[in-house]
Each structure stands twice: as structure tokens, then as C-alpha cells.
Amino acid sequence: QKEVEQDPGPLSVPEGAIVSLNCTYSNSAFQYFMWYRQYSRKGPELLMYTYSSGNKEDGRFTAQVDKSSKYISLFIRDSQPSDSATYLCAMSDPLESRQGGKLIFGQGTELSVKP
Amino acid sequence: EAEVAQSPRYKITEKSQAVAFWCDPISGHATLYWYRQILGQGPELLVQFQDESVVDDSQLPKDRFSAERLKGVDSTLKIQPAELGDSAMYLCASSLEQDTGELFFGEGSRLTVL
């Protein structure tokens, strides 16, 4: 079983829809949780960043972390065709990170928003 | 806007040949990472540098892969000899802080091994 599981999709929605992207994880030591957006043939770009549990909102994007369920979500409101990309969740253990440890990524969910 | 620079963007090579990728991180970022992303999967860490020192290379196939960051600035990742299974996107990233996970990625170098 992978440490981070993410539904690969693809997910296709009409413009204006609310999109929900999710990841589950198994390592309870994870404290930093991130969502990256990756356009085709590009490198990932950081979209949202949260520490520990709770919600964080940035414009049309909301990130939620539920550590008790080991479940994180990204919601996109009023989705636009320009949101079409692959969305990667990522997380890290701060103790391991201080020792030079790594960001663990999900496999990515491919999203297509149709005009 | 500061960016992580990578070259080449695309590389096609035959198996058993040597390939090299170059990365120039954002100025002032002491931590540099090389990730490998196979099509349809998330990136996986190959090696992490703090300045010129390797901090984590536990997932680097050391029999054929090598990485260096001699002056603590730019970095080179080499594969020799290349194998068919090495076909992937090789991503370089840098960060200001080592332990927060806020990585800034370059556009990647896509390798195809024939």
C-alpha cells in the first residue's frame, strides 16, 4: 500500500462546477500538506499549503485537512477551463524533513473543465 | 519572477548511452532536489542537497545515477548507462527552507530512452 493514495481520474466537469479532489494517507506523522497544480509538460507549481489540521481558503480554492481520518481535500469553486491540469497532493513529516527527508506525492488527479 | 532553470527540456537517447541534466535553482535557495516523475505518477525524490552536501540519496540508483552540486549553486544529474525504464520527467526543485515542503519546481527534462 502506498503512503499517499489519490484517485487518478480523469475527472471531467462543466465550467462553473464545484470540484472536489481528495487524498488519503497512512503515515500519521505527516504534518505539512500541500496541493500542487501541474499543467501538461510543465513542472508542478504550489497551489495550497497547510500545516496540521483545518481549512485554508485562497480565492476559489479551499484546502481541508482531517488528520483524524488521514484525509485531505481540495475544493475548486466556479471552475474554469484554465483550471484544467493535473492536481497533486503532497505531504511531509517535519521530523524527517529536518533530517533531509522528502515530500511524498500522490499520483495526481487529471482534471478537465469543459467550457 | 525567479525561476528554477533546467536543461535540456527534452532528451532522446539509446539505452547504454550517458545522459546529463542541469539545474540552476532560484538564487538564495540552499536546498535543491531532483525528482523523477514517471508518466501518470507523482514525483519521487531521487536526491536532496543542502548547499553542496547530499542530505538524502536513499532512492537514487547509485549504480547508474550520480548527482553533484559542487559549488552549492547549480547541479547536474547524470545517468550512465541509461536503461529503457529510465524514461521519465526529471524535475529539479529548490526551496528556501529545508523542512516546510514549499518547493519551487523547474519545467523538467523529459527523457526518452530507446
A84-101 pLDDT, tens digit each:
999 999 998 776 655 445
Residue B11 corresponds to which amino acid? Answer: K
The mean per-residue pLDDT over the stretch A53-77 comes to: 94
State the Cα–Cα distance between residues B70 and B53, nearest whole angstrom.
9
Give the nearest partner residue to A105 out of B42, B104, B108, using CB atoms.
Answer: B42
CB A49 to CB B102 under 8 A?
Answer: yes
The nearest CA of chain B is from the CA of A25 a distance in Å of: 14
Q: What's the CA gap between B21 and A31, in Å, rounded?
A: 32
Chain B positions in Cβ-Cβ contact with residue A21 (cut-off 8 Å): none
Task: Provide the 8-state DSSP code for A79.
Answer: -
Q: Does the CB of B80 have a partner CB in chain A at under 8 Å?
A: no
The reply to whether B108 touches chain A by the CB within 8 Å rule is: yes
The answer for A30, left when phi > 0, alpha when psi is -120 to 50, beta otherwise, is beta
Cβ neighbourhood burial of A73 (10 Å; 0-12, 13-18, 19+):
middle
CA dist., res. A5 & res. B44, Å (int): 14
Q: What tens digit of pLDDT does each residue of A31-54 get?
A: 889 999 999 989 999 999 888 888
CA atoms lying within 13 Å on the CB side of residue A11:
23
What per-residue confidence (pLDDT) applies to B36?
97
Rounded distance, CA A80 to CA B28, Å? 35
Looking at residue A98, its pLDDT comes to 54
Question: Which residues of chain B fall short of a pLDDT of 50?
Answer: none
Selecting from A100, A103, A106 the residue whose C-beta is nearest the C-beta of B103 gives A103
